[in-house]
Amino acid sequence: MVTLADCERTQHAWFRAQAAATGGRAFGTHRMDWVWLPETREMLCLFPTEITEAGLLPALAEAERRGAAVVGVWLNAAVKPGELERRRFGRGWQPWWMTVPLDPERQAAGGDAPDGRVRLDAPAEGVCALDPPQAWRATAHVGDEWAGQSYVFVPPEQGGKHLAGIFDMYVAPEHRRTGLGTALLDRLSQAAADAGAEHLLLNATPEGLELYRNRGFQLIGKGRTWWYHLPA
């Protein structure tokens, strides 16, 4: 069974992997864990059990020093956001946590015929080039035109769990409702199964619910995000 805590740990591990691949940094302040992502200029706090002034202020100072564009805090429903409100953070989008078990028989048989518009990137780069291998990117093309992409991430250290996360799913607007989202999911599901994963998880927005539900994903809970935009 995949829990909300599993989803949160996998999301946190994904951001740490991105930081490791892009010259970022993971660090802690008082009861708060942070990741600095230089490519997107984001300073992110992942699922603190408590938000304190002693944890928040040093990270805000570090964000300003590094030239961050935004500071984000991901929360579960149990944590009170009062300190964020006092610091003028604004409530953001909700991650809708969804999971699905991988069907080993279907994956072993190759599932449906592969969609030729989607392939795994090679050679690997960025987060996909980490050692040991833990992330793979699938890219969609229609003819010679780039049409979308997504990642699958299998955390290298997760105890007895065998989980994989789907991240950064995007299909260009002019190519939506043409099966590309499904094709990306199918290709990444196969990559996850090949890496030993038994369940997939992801954070969805309401716009993606239909796609994921059609592929068997079930909603298991919702989170919250809060954001503070630094002056340009």
Best CA proximity match to 6, nearest among 47, 55, 60? 47
pLDDT at 104 exceeding the cut of 80: no
**CATH superfamily to which 97-221 belongs:** Gcn5-related N-acetyltransferase (GNAT) (3.40.630.30)
Each residue's pLDDT tens digit, 119-140: 999 888 999 999 999 999 999 9
For CATH 3.40.630.30, list the domain ranges present in the chain: 97-221
Each residue's pLDDT tens digit, 38-82: 999 999 999 999 999 999 999 999 999 999 999 999 999 899 999
pLDDT at 105 exceeding the cut of 90: no
pLDDT on residue 159 = 80
Helical residues (DSSP H) of 77-205, grouped into ranges: 82-86, 104-108, 180-194
pLDDT at 109 exceeding the cut of 70: no
pLDDT on residue 177 = 92
Each residue's pLDDT tens digit, 159-207: 888 999 999 999 999 999 999 999 999 999 999 999 999 999 999 999 8
Q: Which fold has domain 4-95+223-229?
A: Aminopeptidase (3.40.630)
- Average pLDDT over all residues of the chain: 95
pLDDT on residue 107 = 58
In sequence order, what are the residues at sequence separation of 6 or more whose Cβ sits closer than 8 angstroms to the Cβ of residue 9?
155, 158
In sequence order, what are the residues at sequence separation of 6 or more whose Cβ sits closer than 8 angstroms to the Cβ of residue 72?
42, 43, 44, 45, 92, 225, 226, 227, 228
DSSP string, 17-29: HHHHHHT-EEEEE
